[in-house]
Amino acid sequence: MKQHLQFRCGTHADPYECPDTTFHYNPRFREHGIIVHDGGTSMIVIEYCPFCGAKLPESKRDEWFDALESRGIDPENNEFPEEFEDDRWWRQAKGP
Tens digit of each residue's pLDDT, the chain (96 residues):
888 888 999 999 999 999 999 999 999 999 999 999 998 999 999 999 999 999 999 999 999 999 999 999 998 887 889 999 999 999 987 765
Task: Give the C-alpha separation, 9 to 90, whole Å.
Answer: 29
Q: Give the integer Cα–Cα distance in Å for 58 and 28.
A: 12
CB 67 within 8 A of CB 93: yes
pLDDT for 96 equals 55
Residue 67's pLDDT is what? Answer: 93
Q: What is the per-residue pLDDT for 2? A: 84
